[in-house]
Structure 1
Amino acid sequence: MTLWAAISAALAGLVACDPQRIRELEEGVSTEADVRARFGEPEAIWDAGPEGPPGRVFEYNRQPAGQKNYMITIGADGKMAALRQVLAPAYFARVQPGMPMEELRKLLGRPAKVTPYALKRETEWEWRWVQAPNSDMVFTAVLNEQQYVVRSGSTPDRRAEAP
């Protein structure tokens, strides 16, 4: 087994366990320690920001092997206030031209793929996600040189198509 195959298998195992881990957590009851015990160390920790109650947001990213990114909010009281899977149309709709890169990253998590286009002076960020009932999709946000979104949208994931 190659190293990449071993890593992919391990990541797939982590993703497969997510529904069980989520069932073991309860908003307003589970603590930060409970979240870390089930999900491990977060990839990133963000301030919850002015739009919600005070606290921190833990990012649990399943890209590029998976098709989900979880944001778990820990309130000022140390308890889980919210658990959201953010690779979904409601979150994509919040991505608008002029949005700064940092805000995009906090909204959707680390992308599965980042592709710079030097001649166009743009960079594409891609996230893989599943549209109900079971269509593999890619959401793309294009950023300009100043690191602001210029356009975004979803298309079918061509990787999922047979050769």
Structure 2
Amino acid sequence: MNAFPTTTGVGRSLRVLLLGFVVWTLTGCLGVPERVEPGTPRSQIEARLGVPTAEYPLADGRRLQYSRQPGGQQVYNLDLDASGRLRQLEQVMDIHWLQRHIAPDRWTRADVLRNLGRPAIVERVVSFRGDVWSYRFLEANSPRQVHLHIDPEGVVRRVMFTDEPTPDDPPERS
């Protein structure tokens, strides 16, 4: 069973993105993670940014993840050391980060979630047996998407980058 609902069509995708943006805006926009200083304790991080959208164990600490998906274009990973203080902060929705780190045939669904969080969109395409997880990001101020093709065994098999469809794009033909 799929952990995320499957949608089809650009119209539904845009509605999901718009709904996510509205929810994100109404909940206070999460604060500004990029301004948290190294060494900041977890209690201060959460007081400033709120509860993380996800949390993952690391070999030497914990990862607090603050995702702005599906409406936004950033995912912030705040890695805490064993004592619960910020060791590293990274915004991973960046073309260079994505190209350098995503490892087809080696990354699993768990790696994707730990590094990128929940996708903005989950779809299926006829040319691939599995789900396509899509994330939004900016490249040189242009809206883009990265699509991770994850097979039924949970392994990333393909990574594709596309321009993000806009409301001005012509409708799909069936």
Q: TM-score, normalised by structure 1?
A: 0.81
For residues 100 and 35 of structure 1, what CA distance do their matches in structure 2 show? 29
The Cα shift of 1:45 comes to: 1.2
For residues 100 and 48 of structure 1, what CA distance do their matches in structure 2 show? 16
1:27 counterpart (32, 38, 48):
38
Amino acid at match of 2:121: K
Residue of structure 2 in register with 1:79 after alignment: 85
Residue of structure 1 in register with 2:54 after alignment: 44
8 A contact 1:12–1:66 mirrored in 2: no
The one-character-per-residue Cα deviations of 1:66-120 (angstroms, maximum 9, x if unpaired) are 1101111111122111111111123312212212111121111111011134784
Aligned pair 1:101/2:99, yes or no?
no
8 A contact 2:133–2:147 mirrored in 1: yes
Q: Which has the bigger relative contact order, CA under 8 A and spacing at least 6?
A: 2
Aligned pair 1:9/2:38, yes or no?
no
The Cα shift of 1:161 comes to: 4.3
8 A contact 1:15–1:62 mirrored in 2: no
The Cα shift of 1:157 comes to: 0.5
SS at match of 1:114: strand
For residues 135 and 160 of structure 1, what CA distance do their matches in structure 2 show? 14
The one-character-per-residue Cα deviations of 1:8-46 (angstroms, maximum 9, x if unpaired) are 334136675643x532x2102x11011101111112211
Please tell me the root mean square deviation across aligned C-alpha atoms, in Å: 2.5
8 A contact 1:136–1:160 mirrored in 2: no
- Which runs of 5 or more residues in structure 2 are unaligned? 1-16
SS at match of 1:159: coil
2:146 counterpart (127, 139, 147):
139
For residues 160 and 154 of structure 1, what CA distance do their matches in structure 2 show? 19
Residue of structure 1 in register with 2:13 after alignment: none
Q: Percent identity?
A: 26
For residues 30 and 118 of structure 2, what CA distance do their matches in structure 1 show? 20
Residue of structure 1 in register with 2:130 after alignment: 122
Change (3 A) 1:121 1:162: closer
8 A contact 2:30–2:49 mirrored in 1: no
Residue of structure 2 in register with 1:63 after alignment: 69
